[in-house]
Structure 1
Amino acid sequence: MTDLVHGTIPVRAGDPILPRWWRTLDKASLGCVLGLFGIGLLLGLAASPPLAARNGLEPFHYVERQAFFGAIALVVMLAVSMLEPRQVRRLGVLGFAASFVALLLLPFFGTDFGKGAVRWYSLGFASFQPSEFLKPGFVVLSAWLMAAAHEKNGPPGRLWSFVLAVLVVSLLALQPDFGQAALVLFSWGVLYFVAGAPMTLLMILAGCVAFAGTVAYEKSEHFARRIDGFLSPEVDPRTQLGYATNAIREGGFFGVGVGGGEVKWSLPDAHTDFIIAVAAEEYGLILVVCIIGLYATVVIGSLLRLSRERDPFIRLAGTGLACVFGVQAMINMGVAVRLLPAKGMTLPFVSYGGSSLIAGGIAMGMLLAMTRSRPQGQMGDILGARRRLGADA
């Protein structure tokens, strides 16, 4: 029966863990992530000194912190990528539980750092944003529930995962953090679609989301202000979007030169939410295209590897993690070029932020663990083995 499930590819006896991990790893995705982190440090050298000067700190204070947290994130990513799918599932469930509790306690112990949304815990030496760690755990837990629903006498996993999604989205919307809420809802929709949801039901759910957005626009001044700013035909040059738009236009194809950009002196979030504007101004369209190419390589390469995977949980969890990674990058860059309403969302592995980097390392480690090559063989091998088994019987 083992051959029927896992194929007939031989496994090397006594193969050490590290060589086996390296041989089965998606090295292209790993290389792209390392490239994104390197670009993040490069852009941090340009974007962080103005912020450090405003706060009375050493010029490269934030770059050093980014390198520190990034190193932790990379170590965590490599460690998680060595886990088996069952261990990733346990890590995801425990991580979701801890992050969900932290999210519940935010209104009582959290802080907004003057940004109008209570999203962080202040630890003195650093801050902690539970929603960043919640996303990979939610994807893994939802994938497990939906995969279990396909089993004989399995639980109503789709319904349970939907209830979880509603609870999480509601908590995030109350902060308010509509960007992360939309990302969580999108990840659930992707999982539901891959799990075989009918298009009619997905269209009904899309209509419900549109209705919820209308209600949020009428009831939330924060949400309405961002939508109005996005829909306005004129861009106020004194806003963050105005500064970012001007920086991208000034950069052109080749940029104004290293250190020659001006937007970093005007944008308070130049090192986080609008880091792509710094890249476009100083290095031009060439670097932006390279960044987009790195994200696309990770997402498309991962989805291609997952398309050959027959384990429902691995296929669902990996697809969800890959899509969340790509869509978060798309949202961040879309906001900077005014294709999307303003959302406080970092660019994975490029923007400054300890929570974002470490949570991204966990999520990418899970994705690398899911996309590792496994001895499951080709479908023809399995069919042939079944025919031989039937003939022997």
Structure 2
Amino acid sequence: MTEMVYGALPAQEGEPILPKWWRTLDKWTMTFVVTLFIVGLLLGLAASVPLAARNGFDNFHYVQRQAFFGCTALVAMVLTSMMSPTLVRRLAVIGFVCAFVAMALLPIFGTDFGKGAVRWYSLGFASLQPSEFLKPGFIVLAAWMIAASHQIYGPPGTLLSFGLCLSVVMLLVMQPDFGQACLILFGWGVMYFVAGAPMLLLVGMAAVVIFGGVIAYSNSEHFARRIDGFLSPDLDPTTQLGYATNAIREGGLFGVGVGEGQVKWSLPDAHTDFIIAVAAEEYGLVLVSIIIFLYAMIVVRSLFRLMRERDTFIRLAGAGLACSFGVQAMINMGVAVRLLPAKGMTLPFVSYGGSSLIAGGIAMGMLLAFTRSRPQGEIADALRGRGRG
């Protein structure tokens, strides 16, 4: 308990792998992640039963699958968190290359499952969404490039990472998947900002993103339809956003009761994109506040631990992973309450989805690996020493 309150102890040389991992791990962050997964199973028991009935499966078919994928994700998280930063970087590069190739082949071999966007491979027993695995790989690879550019006689890593970012965004826009494209741009922007980017340049990049949105609105019916629905002053109560908004309103502070919610019978994506509406209707603002607190604590604790890190690559990669994780949760919940246009983005570790859960486990494992305590002085000590020199 002392370690969880005051932080993990630095690693000792020659210590066995498991004790060393447990001693240096951010146990609170791991606890918060596991709690989110348990909350997701709890909500899945309510949200997925109607879908299972419509598709002719057993009542708990999707819950069982979520439990399987979630346990696989937790195992992947633990194994990845045991790796050294160098090994995590190598894993990320390999994963990024494989996911990038898989995304490039989506127009040929992919499917849209009737949703209007070719984002998945159908494997028969399950589906695979390459963009979910590409995100953590891209963030770590881009962080490595940006960090390398800060070395003496280093390569133009920042420029190369930006070119790579644009290539990924173009592939995502072709699907189309504007939500994931925005998340990739945001993750790169966070790392560029942490690396010391001029504020004026970041403002210019934001203007370019807005201009790109205008172009997408003019040329993509899929994108325009979602923006029009978001901007419309009248909300159709028979749409997904209409059902979700009404469910959140009906839930109030304590909810209508476990199993008493009605939105799960109306929303086809109640177990994925709109899982927070089920939480709000059946358990009220209380559970929603707990979920928001868990996401906020994961991001805040990770960033505070990264502030003590002296390695530029670890600081950048960790900040990109933590902020992307938090923003994805914010986007999902923002869509449900109509603060943002519909994105088709899952709520990490809570929504149903094999690709989302397993990729999220790998990403969180990378973040836990980067935030482990290391036998090093504080970065402030290094800066003071440099000043005295």
- Superposition TM-score, scaled by structure 1 size: 0.94
Name the counterpart of 2:377. 377
The structure that has the greater radius of gyration is: 1
Q: Distance in 2 between matches of 1:184 and 1:147?
A: 18
The secondary structure found in structure 2 opposite 1:192 is helix
| Aligned-residue offset at 1:16 | 1.3
Q: Distance in 2 between matches of 1:380 and 1:109?
A: 51
Name the counterpart of 1:199. 199
Name the counterpart of 2:56. 56
Deviates more, 1:373-382 or 1:24-33: 373-382
Distance 1:14 1:126, change over 3 A: same
Q: Distance in 2 between matches of 1:177 and 1:268?
A: 19
Specify the code of the residue in structure 1 equivalent to 2:169: V
The secondary structure found in structure 1 opposite 2:255 is coil
| Aligned-residue offset at 1:72 | 0.4
Measured against aligned partners, the alpha-carbon deviations of 1:280-324 in whole angstroms (never above 9, x if no partner) come to: 000000000000000000000000000111100000000000001
Measured against aligned partners, the alpha-carbon deviations of 1:327-375 in whole angstroms (never above 9, x if no partner) come to: 0000000000000000100000000000000000000000000000011
Q: Distance in 2 between matches of 1:387 and 1:200?
A: 28
| Aligned-residue offset at 1:12 | 3.2
Mapped pair 1:278 → 2:245: no
Measured against aligned partners, the alpha-carbon deviations of 1:47-74 in whole angstroms (never above 9, x if no partner) come to: 0110000000000000000000001000
| Aligned-residue offset at 1:203 | 1.1
Name the counterpart of 1:138. 138
Equivalent residues in 2 for 1:177-188, closer than 5 Å: 177-188=177-188
Mapped pair 1:27 → 2:27: yes
Name the counterpart of 2:47. 47
Q: Distance in 1 between matches of 2:135 and 2:321?
A: 9
The question of whether the paired residues in 1 share the 8 Å contact of 2:309 and 2:379 is answered with: no
The question of whether the paired residues in 1 share the 8 Å contact of 2:11 and 2:20 is answered with: no
Mapped pair 1:236 → 2:236: yes
| Aligned-residue offset at 1:204 | 1.1
Q: Distance in 2 between matches of 1:90 and 1:360?
A: 18
User: Which consecutive residues of structure 1, in runs of 5 or more, have no partner in the other structure?
Assistant: 1-8
Distance 1:107 1:23, change over 3 A: same
Name the counterpart of 1:291. 291
Query: RMSD of the TM alignment (CA)?
Result: 1.6
Q: Distance in 1 between matches of 2:152 and 2:35?
A: 44
Q: Distance in 1 between matches of 2:173 and 2:384?
A: 52
Q: Distance in 1 between matches of 2:232 and 2:41?
A: 34
Name the counterpart of 2:254. 254
Distance 1:379 1:302, change over 3 A: closer
Measured against aligned partners, the alpha-carbon deviations of 1:161-216 in whole angstroms (never above 9, x if no partner) come to: 11111111011011110000110011111111111111111111111111100010
Mapped pair 1:87 → 2:92: no
Distance 1:275 1:383, change over 3 A: closer
Name the counterpart of 1:224. 224
| Aligned-residue offset at 1:15 | 1.4
The question of whether the paired residues in 1 share the 8 Å contact of 2:11 and 2:374 is answered with: no
The secondary structure found in structure 1 opposite 2:48 is helix
Name the counterpart of 1:319. 319
Q: Distance in 2 between matches of 1:381 and 1:273?
A: 45
Q: Distance in 2 between matches of 1:227 and 1:386?
A: 51
Name the counterpart of 1:354. 354
Name the counterpart of 2:3. none
The secondary structure found in structure 1 opposite 2:105 is helix
Specify the code of the residue in structure 1 equivalent to 2:256: V
Q: Distance in 2 between matches of 1:274 and 1:380?
A: 43
User: Which consecutive residues of structure 2, in runs of 5 or more, have no partner in the other structure?
Assistant: 1-8
Paired positions, count: 381
The question of whether the paired residues in 1 share the 8 Å contact of 2:111 and 2:120 is answered with: yes
The question of whether the paired residues in 1 share the 8 Å contact of 2:10 and 2:375 is answered with: yes
Q: State the identity %.
A: 74
Q: Distance in 1 between matches of 2:135 and 2:384?
A: 41
Q: Distance in 1 between matches of 2:133 and 2:10?
A: 37
| Aligned-residue offset at 1:33 | 0.2
Q: Distance in 2 between matches of 1:379 and 1:169?
A: 34
